[in-house]
Amino acid sequence: MVYKTTNFNRSLDRNSVIPFNKPYMTGNEIANIFESYNNGVLAGDGAFTKKCHKWLEENCHIKKALLTHSCTAALEMAAILLNISPGDEVIMPSYTFVSTANAFVLRGAVPVFVDIRPDTLNIDEEKIEEAITSKTKAIVPVHYAGVACEMDQIMDIATKHKLAVVEDAAQALGAYYKGKPLGSIGHLGALSFHETKNIISGEGGALLINDAKFLDRAEIIREKGTNRSRFFRGEVDKYTWVDIGSSYLPGELIAAFLYAQLGKMDSITAARISLWNTYHEQFAEGESLKKWRRPIVPEHCQHNAHMYYLLLPSLEARESFIHYLKQHGINSIFHYIPLHSSEAGKKFARYIGDMAVTNSVSDRLVRLPLWIGLDHKMNEIVDLINRFSL
Ligand SMILES: *Cc1c(COP(=O)(O)O)cnc(C)c1O
């Protein structure tokens, strides 16, 4: 059997627009998919899913990993596992993706947003305690751009107040906090393999389980509320409906694709870090001239170069920066509209304090193209950006 692939990683035409993102293919995906196809294995939890689980358990130093069809699904599973119920409160940043909050709102909980740190743009751990009430059940730190939240302080607060910690590590596979893989520090962690992340399967995610008490029930919730997984291991002689759940597992073709990507994580991360470092060095002067501020990565956080962003001095400056790059054929984009100012956020959530950092960052942040294959365009991009003036 012969299959043909287009070279997705080919270099860009000279005059084409430089896209913000371009998914990287390792080249091994098709062979894995073909193996599944050939073996007639299409439903979830086949050989490639098991290989992905083992890889994640070993590389994320975690008791159990379960593939899901998205990070959103993994967060929803976490909310069910924690028995989140109507009226419960869950503390999280407002500067995050919708799913961080929505997964808990689906269980009837109220997200309580706190402001972010001006340096890492992660939840400000100093502001968490003032948000805790008798209804608080969990804290959901989000590791923005693959830079770790202050997990020691967050875990201490959680222990003191008997709260669960769910890490939204959607952007953080391959990043570490004091040597610990992100997603493996809280009670539960959620990864994303969406096309826009570092390691991809189109749509895809995983739930990382650090607290052994969740192991059995997580399998049940993921398999439509049945004990199907135990049945296949021969632990029960029939499978039946035992709890609430949904269908959270991906099909085997997704796992086959993902396994090819996981195997290349180190080189993918290294290639991204190299691009990130080029930006960082080249934009140092602009920072000292107060044209922008560069990302800040604390010494104890090993990031994965998920994102390179600049903070412009104002909303107007950010808009003219994006416009300027667009005119020169480069796509750069802003990021989150804070959830506390979104339509659903106003309806379902509340916030603590003035959210000054969140509001300001959301107006001023711009993300630059960062994808494998961009190397030969870096000089052009950097020169153009360094020539930008208001
Ligand atoms: C991408 C992302 C998600 C959602 O991931 P999906 O796999 O698309 O569901 C959730 N949280 C954060 C912080 C993300 O960046």
3-state secondary structure the chain: CCCCCCCCCCCCCCCCCECCCCCCCCCCHHHHHHHHHHHCCCCCCCHHHHHHHHHHHHHCCCCEEEEECCHHHHHHHHHHHCCCCCCCEEEEECCCCHHHHHHHHCCCCEEEEECECCCCCCECHHHCHHHCCCCEEEECCECHHHCCCCHHHHHHHHHHHCCEEEEECCCCCCCEECCEECCCCCCEEEEECECCCCCCCECCEEEEECCHHHHHHHHHHHECCECHHHHHCCCCCCCCECCCCCECCCCHHHHHHHHHHHCCHHHHHHHHHHHHHHHHHHCHHHHHCCCCECCCCCCCEECCCCCEEEECCCHHHHHHHHHHHHHCCECCECCCCCHHHCHHHHHHCEECCCCHHHHHHHHHEEEECCCCCCHHHHHHHHHHHHCCCC
Q: Is the CB of 72 under 6 A from ligand 1?
A: yes
Residue 50, in any domain of the structure = yes
Ligand 1 atom 1 nearest Cα: 170
Report the number of distinct structural domains present in the chain: 2
- Span from the CA of 268 to the centroid of ligand 1 (angstroms): 19
- Span from the CA of 387 to the centroid of ligand 1 (angstroms): 34
Nearest to 107 by CA among 140, 131, 130, 133: 140
Residues 241 and 349 in one domain: no
Q: Is the CB of 198 under 6 A from ligand 1?
A: no
CA dihedral (220, 222, 224, 228) in degrees, to 10, reads -50
Give residues with Cβ within 8 angstroms of 317, minimum separation 6: 364, 390
Residue 17, in any domain of the structure = no
- Span from the CA of 148 to the centroid of ligand 1 (angstroms): 16
- Span from the CA of 192 to the centroid of ligand 1 (angstroms): 6
Q: Is the CB of 201 under 6 A from ligand 1?
A: no
Of 228, 262, 296, the domain-final residue? 262
Amino acid at 244: I
CB 149 within 8 A of CB 61: no
Residue 328, in any domain of the structure = yes
Ligand 1 atom 14 nearest Cα: 170
Residues 160 and 196 in one domain: yes
CATH number (domain holding residue 162): 3.40.640.10
Of 211, 231, 262, the domain-final residue? 262
Residue 204 CA: nearest ligand 1 atom is 7
Confidence at residue 229, expressed as pLDDT on a 0 to 100 scale: 87
Residues 207 and 346 in one domain: no
Ligand 1: which of 105, 171, 306, 365 to mutate, judged by most atoms within 8 Å of the beta carbon? 171
Per-residue model confidence as pLDDT tens for the chain (390 residues): 445 555 544 444 445 899 999 999 999 999 999 999 999 999 999 999 999 999 999 999 999 999 999 999 999 999 999 999 999 999 999 999 999 999 999 999 999 999 999 999 999 999 999 999 999 999 999 999 999 999 999 999 999 999 999 999 999 999 999 999 999 999 999 999 999 999 999 999 999 999 999 999 999 999 999 998 888 889 888 889 999 999 999 999 999 999 999 999 999 999 999 999 999 999 999 999 999 999 999 999 999 999 999 999 999 999 999 999 999 999 999 999 999 999 999 999 999 999 999 999 999 999 999 999 999 999 999 999 999 997
- Domain limits at 329? 265-386
- Cα distances from 369 to residues 135, 166, 266, 292, 302, in angstroms, run 42, 29, 20, 17, 21
Residues 314 and 293 in one domain: yes
Ligand 1: which of 90, 99, 120 to mutate, judged by most atoms within 8 Å of the beta carbon? 99
Neighbours of 300 (CB within 10 A): 13
CATH number (domain holding residue 375): 3.90.1150.10
Residues 38 and 129 in one domain: yes
Residues 169 and 152 in one domain: yes
How far apart CA 327 and CA 387 sit, in angstroms, is: 14
Of 262, 281, 298, the domain-final residue? 262
- Span from the CA of 75 to the centroid of ligand 1 (angstroms): 9
State pTM to two decimals: 0.96
How far apart CA 189 and CA 179 sit, in angstroms, is: 16
The backbone torsions φ and ψ at residue 281, rounded to the nearest 5 degrees and listed phi first, read -65, -45
- Span from the CA of 99 to the centroid of ligand 1 (angstroms): 7
Confidence at residue 11, expressed as pLDDT on a 0 to 100 scale: 46
Instruction: Identify the bridge partners of residue 365 per DSSP, sorted by sequence position.
Output: 311
Q: Is the CB of 99 under 6 A from ligand 1?
A: yes
Confidence at residue 59, expressed as pLDDT on a 0 to 100 scale: 98
- Span from the CA of 131 to the centroid of ligand 1 (angstroms): 24
Q: Is the CB of 102 under 6 A from ligand 1?
A: no
Residues 283 and 359 in one domain: yes
How far apart CA 178 and CA 75 sit, in angstroms, is: 24
- Span from the CA of 168 to the centroid of ligand 1 (angstroms): 8
Q: Is the CB of 68 under 6 A from ligand 1?
A: no
Residues 338 and 258 in one domain: no
Neighbours of 253 (CB within 10 A): 20
- Span from the CA of 51 to the centroid of ligand 1 (angstroms): 23
Residues 175 and 284 in one domain: no
Q: Is the CB of 192 under 6 A from ligand 1?
A: yes
